[in-house]
């Protein structure tokens, strides 16, 4: 959250140099971060915050933000009102009483949030200090080798195998169609389904044909969906956007589920332009 000043504006530049002269405003990640900072510089305990003092300093900071034309975002204002509320509660006799009959500290919820935030700040700092790939450490890997997924080698999937998988999926969809509560049939085009499949394949390299159909429990597993999915897979294969694999057993015989593997880079969308208009 820094005041960005266009370099061409001499007035703004002058103002900024004045501002940097008069105050130095640290940048906070949000109201909780600011509160933790105030707690630290006041050398008070998170678990026993002097709400009046901290609240006052908190508002002072918001005023400074305003003077600097920094946007005081809503979250900061919400926290300001929370602090005001807690302060007023502290002045009144206890109203909220816990299960054990003891008074509930009006600060308890805020304290819990601060502790929770503090602990994630700590691990975030630890993560930040870890040796990072591409910055601190670099990995050896051979260009040109493309690893097929575990226990998988590329083979030409026989059309028969595909049809068999298709038949199984259709049979399963028939069972599903028979279920009385699923009545809404969703219209979906082959083109849409192709885009969906590639989206599923975006974060990972491959997926089981069967799993692809079961991926979306919220969508009725209908015959239409199976047919459209099958056509979409064939079309994607034709456009070389995916490849179809099947595992081999110990004797080298194709066995197990059929996998779809992304054959292009995740961001590559050139194939979309090649989908026939009719799809």
Partner 1 sequence: MSQIDKRRIAEALILASPEPISTARLAKLIPRCTPAKARALVDELNAEYLAQGRAFEICEVSGGYQMRSHAEFAPYLQQLQNARPLRLSNAALETLAIVAYRQPLTRAEVENVRGVDAGPVMRSLLERKLIKLAGHREVPGRPMLYATTKRFLEIFGLADLDDLPTLRELEEIALEAADIGDAFAAQDVESLAAELDAGPDAPPGAEISLEDVEVVGKPH
Residues that bind partner 1 (CB under 8 A): 29-33, 45-48, 73, 75, 79, 105, 108, 111-113, 115-128, 130-142, 145-147, 150-151, 195-196, 199-200, 202-204, 207, 215-216, 218, 266
Measured from the CB of residue 72, what is the shortest distance to partner 1 in angstroms? 12
- How many whole angstroms separate alpha carbon 150 and alpha carbon 259? 11
- Residue number with CB closer to partner 1 (127 or 159): 127
Beta bridge partners of 261: 206, 243
- Residue number with CB closer to partner 1 (173 or 206): 206
Measured from the CB of residue 8, what is the shortest distance to partner 1 in angstroms? 27
Measured from the CB of residue 100, what is the shortest distance to partner 1 in angstroms? 10
**Alpha carbon distances (Å) from 190 to 35, 187, 276:** 53, 10, 10
Sign of CA dihedral 69, 75, 79, 85: positive
CB 159 within 8 A of CB 234: no
- Residue number with CB closer to partner 1 (124 or 163): 124
Which of 90, 67, 125, 83 lies closest to 75 in space, CA to CA? 83
Q: Is 137 helix (H, G, I), strand (E, B) or coil?
A: strand
Q: What tokens does 99 get?
A: 């299960």
Measured from the CB of residue 178, what is the shortest distance to partner 1 in angstroms? 24
Measured from the CB of residue 43, what is the shortest distance to partner 1 in angstroms? 11
- Residue number with CB closer to partner 1 (8 or 100): 100
Q: Could you tell me the end-to-end alpha-carbon distance of the chain, in angstroms, rounded to an integer?
A: 48
- Residue number with CB closer to partner 1 (92 or 127): 127
- Residue number with CB closer to partner 1 (18 or 112): 112
CB 210 within 8 A of CB 175: no
Measured from the CB of residue 177, what is the shortest distance to partner 1 in angstroms? 21
């Amino acid at each position: 959250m820094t005041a960005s000043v266009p370099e061409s504006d001499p007035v703004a530049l002058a103002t900024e140099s004045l501002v940097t002269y008069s105050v130095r405003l640290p940048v906070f990640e949000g109201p909780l971060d600011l509160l933790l900072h105030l707690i630290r510089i006041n050398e008070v305990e998170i678990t026993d915050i002097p709400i009046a003092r901290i609240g006052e300093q908190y508002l002072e900071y918001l005023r400074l933000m305003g003077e600097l034309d920094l946007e005081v975002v809503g979250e900061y204002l919400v926290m300001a009102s929370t602090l005001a509320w807690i302060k007023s509660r502290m002045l009144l006799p206890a109203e909220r009483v816990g299960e054990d009959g003891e008074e509930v500290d009006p600060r308890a919820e805020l304290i819990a949030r601060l502790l929770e935030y503090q602990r994630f700040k700590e691990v975030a700092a630890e993560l930040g200090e870890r040796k990072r790939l591409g910055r601190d450490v670099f990995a050896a890997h051979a260009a040109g080798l493309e690893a097929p997924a575990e226990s998988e080698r590329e083979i030409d999937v026989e059309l028969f195998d595909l049809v068999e998988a298709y038949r199984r999926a259709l049979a399963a969809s028939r069972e599903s169609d028979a279920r009385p509560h699923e009545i809404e049939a969703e219209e979906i085009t082959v083109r849409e389904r192709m885009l969906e499949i590639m989206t599923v394949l975006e974060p990972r390299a491959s997926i089981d044909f069967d799993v692809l159909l079961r991926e979306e429990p919220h969508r009725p597993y209908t015959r239409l969906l199976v047919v459209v999915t099958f056509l979409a897979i064939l079309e994607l294969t034709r456009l070389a956007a995916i490849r179809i694999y099947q595992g081999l057993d110990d004797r080298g015989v194709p066995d197990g589920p059929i996998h779809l593997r992304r054959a292009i880079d995740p961001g590559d969308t050139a194939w979309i332009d090649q989908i026939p208009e009719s799809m």
